[in-house]
């Protein structure tokens, strides 16, 4: 019993540190984060005519491809007279944000190694830069989509969705950042995993469209709960309290271990790269 209490106590303090310390780092180094964010935008679009406009245009081009396949060629239709285009765009834009954050987090220390190998550098802010950059870009894109499909009232909800998702993804970013250093093979497998999870998430279909024998998948996929909540907020679709409870439990469960793993690995990151 004593061991269990000690374990719970350790988990509680680790979770508290995992919540507070990344935010403290972000505040202390806010100017450095903004400088690196501007550098990131410039680096990703340097030499192009549209510049930063490509950051907004790339997701749009991907959406057009998916929309043509699913709505024009396959002619997917949703129940209840719901517009497939609206449902699909809302879900897919949020998924693009999730996928970009997770994908970039896996290689974030490799991406910035040229900076922190040469000078003292707060490594804890790098996953935050990844989340923040993507959040700003997709908040703008989401706000525009919400304005078109939902109206002015949907804009603040769309922006809030992105920043709530960003906060929820923080422990995943720290975990993936460390995994990407010590298990390099995962980078080869990860794009397939992201695509596989996307197809198991109700983005291109409604949850009720899944066969009854496969609905258990939604119960074990936290991204399904997130999508249900996103559609509920923007389109007024049905949701229940479990859609909030399950992602919250996963977030709380990962918050402490992810931060503890980062702190233990931090002294070895430079030598591994």
Per-residue pLDDT tens digits for 92-111: 889 999 999 999 999 888 88
Cα 36 to Cα 1: distance, rounded to the nearest angstrom: 48
Cα 20 to Cα 5: distance, rounded to the nearest angstrom: 23
Could you tell me the CA-to-CA distances from 96 to 29, 39, 87, 100, 135 in Å, in that order? 27, 22, 14, 6, 11
Residues in the chain, total: 273
Average pLDDT, the chain: 83
Cα 201 to Cα 194: distance, rounded to the nearest angstrom: 11
- What pLDDT was estimated at residue 97? 94
Give pTM, 2 decimals: 0.88
- What pLDDT was estimated at residue 245? 94
Per-residue pLDDT of 211-260, as tens digits, reads: 888 888 888 899 999 999 999 998 888 899 999 999 999 999 999 889 98
Nearest to 143 by CA among 163, 166, 169: 163
Expressed in percent and rounded to 5, the helix, strand and coil fractions of the chain are 80, 0, 20
Mean pLDDT of the 7-16 span: 74
- What pLDDT was estimated at residue 187? 81
Residue 125 main-chain phi, psi, to 5 deg: -85, -15
Per-residue pLDDT of 142-179, as tens digits, reads: 888 888 778 888 899 999 999 999 999 999 999 999 99
Label residue 236 exposed, middle or buried (CB < 10 Å: 0-12, 13-18, 19+): exposed
Can you state the angle between helices 222-235 and 242-272, rounded to 10 degrees?
A: 120
């Amino acid at each position: 019993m004593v061991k269990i209490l000690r374990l719970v106590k350790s988990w509680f303090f680790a979770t508290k540190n995992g919540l507070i310390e990344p935010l403290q780092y972000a505040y202390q180094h806010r100017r450095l984060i903004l400088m690196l964010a501007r550098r990131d935008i410039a680096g990703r679009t340097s030499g192009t005519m549209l510049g930063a406009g490509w950051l907004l245009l790339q997701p749009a081009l991907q959406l057009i491809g998916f929309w043509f396949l699913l709505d024009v060629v396959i002619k997917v239709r949703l129940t209840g007279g719901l517009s497939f285009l609206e449902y699909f765009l809302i879900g897919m834009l949020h998924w693009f944000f999730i996928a970009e954050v997770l994908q970039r987090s896996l290689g974030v220390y490799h991406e910035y190694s040229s900076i922190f190998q040469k000078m003292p550098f707060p490594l804890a802010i790098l996953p935050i830069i990844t989340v923040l950059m993507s959040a700003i870009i997709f908040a703008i894109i989401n706000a525009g989509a919400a304005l078109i499909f939902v109206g002015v009232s949907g804009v603040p909800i769309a922006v809030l969705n992105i920043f709530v998702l960003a906060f929820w993804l923080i422990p995943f970013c720290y975990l993936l950042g460390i995994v990407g250093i010590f298990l390099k093979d995962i980078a080869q497998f990860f794009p397939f995993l992201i695509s596989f999870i996307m197809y198991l998430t109700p983005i291109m279909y409604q949850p009720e469209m899944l066969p009854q024998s496969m609905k258990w998948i939604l119960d074990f996929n936290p991204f399904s709960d997130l999508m249900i909540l996103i559609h509920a907020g923007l389109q007024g679709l049905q949701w229940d309290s479990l859609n909030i409870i399950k992602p919250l439990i996963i977030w709380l469960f990962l918050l402490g271990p992810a931060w503890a793993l980062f702190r233990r690995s931090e002294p070895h990151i430079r030598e591994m790269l």
